[in-house]
């Protein structure tokens, strides 16, 4: 083989000067410097350079944020702040409420929208309060503090109720009820309060049928409990009061359509009024029951409840209520053709009404008494009571009542003259005819011995 084809031998020491030494087996002395790292720039120096640039970057970023806040509306900026703070549920609820209101307004039409209050997104004070409370509520929910969550939502409901935003107050009262149902440590007291708040809110807007189940639940939860609310009121009597009011309102609404259903609700109202211990509520409900039975053609049952009402009024010293009871009882006896008891109760009605200065009621009682005496042929008594009614009517501003009283008084006086007048007609002699002609020409009370003939309030003298 040729020598040119043989590869040269590699020097084993070639390149050793470029090979880094292996690390020492023992740690270097504290004064020993690792020369391999002498030319490396310290990391701390790089960080210092970065920190020097950071304020400039932050300032530029803040300026961009300020410009964006200036260009965007209040609601947009508020929602951005809420999201930056991490309150995603609060943001979602605000966004859902605003969209719901917008959709409901669009469905109403432009003509109605012009007459409505501003949208929630344009009311900055309300939005600010709403976001503050919802963020606090979300904090409470994260901390599993159901009591605080309930109170924050209740504050929102009361706030919007005071501002006549019923759609928002209802929303948060419903939320309160949902949260209250999860609270177990108070035996249902918070749940009872939530039912009460929602029910009363609906009642105040006239939605009695919708409020009924919530107030019935309030009643059931507080029964046989000694719970007291923040105002010092016992909850069970309060539940009875609210439930009685709703039953009565529903009864009044259904009275024309179905009297039996109306009486059923009134009986329920009467029962809860008695349970609640309020004599006033029991008495008023008893009176309404009497009226309902009377209108339904059952005067005997009506008298039972009117008597109960009268007893309560006498116990409580309520003269106005007693006068009302006497009037109602007189009407029941009249429908039974019991003239004696009708007369007795009307006289008591007149006496009590006059005593408590109820002039309108006193005039009404006198008119009814005058009518009874007139129908019985006791014209002197009829004139007496119709005269009192006429005097009362003169002191009132109602011309229709005055005209009616004048006519009735005049008719009663004419009836009173009839006996003497017919006596002169039946005599049929010159002297009697002269007396008749004299009376016709002068209109003097020749046929009456009543002093009312000379009364300046006498209709025939006016």
Work out the mean pLDDT of the chain and round it to a whole number.
Answer: 81
pLDDT value for 462: 39
Lowest mean pLDDT among 112-121, 326-335, 359-368: 112-121
Instruction: To the nearest 10°, report the CA torsion of 126, 129, 130, 131.
Output: 120
Per-residue model confidence as pLDDT tens digits over 371-405: 888 888 888 888 888 888 888 888 887 788 788 88
Label residue 459 by pLDDT band (50, 70, 90). Answer: very low
The packing angle between helices 430-442 and 399-427, to 10°, is: 160
Q: pTM to 2 decimals?
A: 0.73
| Mean of pLDDT values over 42-63 | 47
Dihedral sign computed on CA atoms, order 32, 37, 40, 45: negative
pLDDT value for 111: 62
State phi, psi for 234 to the nearest 5 degrees: -75, 135
Burial class (CB in 10 A: 0-12, 13-18, 19+), 139: middle
Rounded distance between C-alpha atoms, residue 45 and residue 403, angstroms: 109
Rounded distance between C-alpha atoms, residue 433 and residue 446, angstroms: 13
Per-residue model confidence as pLDDT tens digits over 28-44: 444 444 444 444 444 44
| Mean of pLDDT values over 306-311 | 96
Label residue 68 by pLDDT band (50, 70, 90). Answer: low
State phi, psi for 319 to the nearest 5 degrees: -70, -35
Instruction: To the nearest 10°, report the CA torsion of 410, 415, 421, 427.
Output: 170
pLDDT value for 381: 86
Answer for the pair 203, 214: CB distance below 8 angstroms, yes or no.
no
Rounded distance between C-alpha atoms, residue 310 and residue 231, angstroms: 33
Which residues 6+ apart lie within 8 Å of 165 measured at CB? 117, 120, 126
Label residue 242 by pLDDT band (50, 70, 90). Answer: very high
> Percentage of the chain with pLDDT > 90?
47
Rounded distance between C-alpha atoms, residue 289 and residue 298, angstroms: 11
Rounded distance between C-alpha atoms, residue 255 and residue 247, angstroms: 12
Considering 41-55, 101-115, 396-410, the range whose residues carry the highest mean pLDDT is: 396-410
* Domain locations along the chain: 66-110+119-159, 358-462
């Amino acid at each position: 083989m040729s020598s040119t084809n043989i590869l040269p031998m590699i020097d084993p020491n070639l390149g050793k000067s470029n090979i880094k030494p292996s690390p020492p087996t023992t740690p270097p002395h504290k004064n020993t410097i690792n020369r391999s790292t002498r030319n490396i720039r310290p990391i701390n120096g790089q960080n210092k350079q970065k920190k020097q640039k950071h304020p400039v970057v932050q300032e530029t970023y803040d300026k961009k944020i300020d410009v964006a806040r200036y260009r965007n509306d209040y609601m947009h900026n508020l929602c951005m702040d809420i999201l930056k703070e991490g309150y995603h549920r609060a943001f979602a609820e605000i966004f859902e409420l605003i969209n719901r209101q917008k959709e409901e307004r669009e469905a109403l039409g432009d003509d109605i929208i012009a007459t409505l209050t501003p949208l929630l997104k344009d009311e900055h004070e309300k939005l600010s309060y709403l976001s503050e409370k919802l963020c606090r509520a979300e904090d409470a929910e994260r901390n599993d503090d159901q009591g605080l969550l309930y109170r924050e939502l209740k504050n929102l409901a009361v706030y919007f109720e005071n501002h006549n935003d019923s759609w928002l107050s209802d929303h948060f009262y419903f939320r309160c009820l949902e949260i209250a149902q999860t609270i177990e440590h108070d035996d249902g007291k918070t749940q009872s309060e939530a039912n009460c708040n929602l029910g009363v809110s609906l009642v105040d807007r006239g939605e009695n049928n919708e409020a009924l189940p919530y107030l019935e639940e309030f009643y059931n939860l507080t029964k046989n409990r000694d719970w007291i609310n923040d105002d010092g009121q016992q909850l069970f009597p309060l539940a009875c009061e609210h439930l009685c009011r709703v039953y009565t309102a529903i009864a009044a609404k259904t009275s024309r359509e179905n009297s039996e259903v109306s009486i059923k609700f009134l009986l329920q109202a009467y029962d809860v009024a008695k349970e609640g211990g309020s004599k006033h509520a029991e008495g008023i409900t008893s009176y309404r029951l009497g009226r309902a039975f009377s209108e339904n053609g059952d005067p005997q049952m009506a008298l039972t409840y009117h008597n109960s009402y009268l007893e309560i009024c006498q116990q409580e010293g309520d003269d106005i209520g007693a006068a009302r009871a006497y009037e109602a009882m007189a009407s029941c006896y009249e429908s039974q053709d019991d003239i004696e008891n009708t007369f007795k109760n009307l006289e008591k009605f007149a006496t009590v009404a006059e005593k408590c200065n109820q002039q309108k009621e006193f005039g009404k009682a006198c008119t009814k008494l005058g009518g009874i005496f007139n129908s019985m042929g006791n014209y002197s008594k009829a004139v007496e009571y119709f005269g009192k009614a006429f005097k009362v009517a003169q002191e009132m501003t109602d011309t229709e009542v005055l005209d009616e009283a004048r006519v009735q008084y005049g008719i009663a006086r004419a009836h009173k003259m009839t006996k003497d007048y017919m006596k002169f007609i039946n005599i049929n002699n010159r002297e009697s005819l002269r007396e008749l002609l004299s009376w016709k020409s002068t209109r003097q009370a020749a046929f009456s011995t009543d002093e009312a003939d000379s009364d300046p309030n006498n209709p025939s003298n006016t």
